[in-house]
Amino acid sequence: MTAQQRIAIVWNPSKTTKEELEAALHELEPSEGALDPEWYETSTEDAGQGPAAAAADAGASLIVAAGGDGTVRAVAEYLAESGSGAELGIVPLGTGNLLARNLGVPIGDVPAAFTRALTSAAKPFDVGWADIDLVGGTERHAFVVMAGFGIDAHMITETDDELKAKAGWLAYVESLGRAVAASDVIDLRLGLDGGAAEDISAHTLIVGNCGTIQGGITLLPDADPADGELDLLILNADGIAGWADTARNMIWDNGIKRLITGGDTAESSESSTHRRAATVEIELSEPRMVEIDGEDIGEGTRVSITTQAGAVRIRS
């Protein structure tokens, strides 16, 4: 941390209190904690874009998002869209903490997360933009981890935290069972990088900037948040044999086997297809719940995704 650095903290009052955050800052070493940050509170009406804008307008060179995935995404969205030049730090306080997990930011240790935000070097980070035709209107959202429809949203948002703490992977098996029941295979058209759209069938399509979700589960093993591209996972498993193939592909082909052989390209299978692209066009035959960084946005029929390379500089 430099003497010239101006710090702003955008915090979510539903996740913590200002007093708790101040107490965590006071635990830091003098060289890390000798700062007088400005505080900006989020609200149910404004998840963080407005507070981040106010912080940037006040001259902040580092904006620390203290909250869950929604707070982090909102601040990153403002920084990507505005080009303010302020860097982003993360103090993860949510349930999923998806970006923090992918970047190795300490979770459950607020002083350690503050230390990382205040002292580490910032690196460029891509941001995905999704224009979504929802039932009732069109919305545009940025995402820093992943977007899509199908079982990933259920696995991220439906997993029981208490069961997860006791049973680890078994919690996701329980969640997966409920998710599968809610995820029918549908027809869709998929276009990549401006090419001709192809007709495919899937119950899940994930477009990701990062590849890991809760429990250390890696859905997109090739995902690199600074390569200017997004990674896709298309799942069309149906029946016991199909789901067995999906599990083998995730756990063996792109997990254990990859660690043993040092492979650097995700393997596809009969039920799991991996792709890469900078732009993605998805047209669904019927509405499906669209998820952005673990948050349900609404039922959509068309999603247009573009990549903004190096849009945000993140300290991690």
Q: Are residues 253 and 233 in contact, defined by beta-carbon separation less than 8 angstroms? A: no
Task: Tell me what the mean pLDDT of segment 46-58 comes to.
Answer: 97
Q: Are residues 157 and 292 in the same domain?
A: yes
Q: Are residues 151 and 235 in contact, defined by beta-carbon separation less than 8 angstroms? A: yes
Q: Long-range contacts: 40-44, Cβ < 8 Å, 24+?
A: 40/8, 40/9, 40/10, 40/11, 41/10, 41/11, 41/12, 41/13, 42/10, 42/11, 42/12, 42/13, 42/67, 42/71, 42/74
Which CATH number characterizes residue 52's domain? 3.40.50.10330
d(CA 266, CA 207): 14
Report the predicted TM-score, pTM, of the whole model to 2 decimal places: 0.85
Selection from 147-151, 239-243, 286-290 with the highest mean pLDDT: 286-290
Of the pLDDT bands very low, low, confident and very high (cuts 50, 70, 90), residue 166 is very low
What was the pLDDT predicted at 236? 79
Q: Are residues 11 and 63 in the same domain?
A: yes
Residue 241 lies in a domain: yes
What was the pLDDT predicted at 185? 86
Q: Are residues 86 and 178 in the same domain?
A: no
* Mean pLDDT estimate for the chain: 85
Q: Which of 58, 90, 120 is the last residue of a domain?
A: 120
Task: Tell me what the mean pLDDT of segment 157-164 comes to.
Answer: 48
pLDDT for 17 beyond 70? yes
Can you give the three-state secondary structure of 49-65, one letter per residue? Answer: HHHHHHHHHCCCCEEEE
Q: What three-state secondary structure class fits 150? A: coil
pLDDT for 254 beyond 60? yes
The total number of structural domains in the chain stands at: 2
Give the domain range for residue 41. 7-120
What was the pLDDT predicted at 172? 46
Q: Are residues 93 and 179 in the same domain?
A: no
pLDDT for 171 beyond 60? no
pLDDT for 241 beyond 70? no
**Beta strand 7-11 pairing with 38-41:** parallel
Q: Are residues 225 and 291 in the same domain?
A: yes
- Residue that wins the pLDDT comparison between 179 and 16: 16
Residue 198 lies in a domain: yes
Q: Which of 120, 135, 161 is the last residue of a domain?
A: 120
DSSP state for residue 202 in the 8-state scheme: E
Q: Are residues 98 and 152 in the same domain?
A: no
Residue 316 lies in a domain: no
Of the pLDDT bands very low, low, confident and very high (cuts 50, 70, 90), residue 151 is low
Q: Say which range, 76-90, 159-173, 225-239, has the weakest mean pLDDT.
A: 159-173
Which CATH number characterizes residue 249's domain? 2.60.200.40
Residue 159 lies in a domain: yes
What was the pLDDT predicted at 218? 79
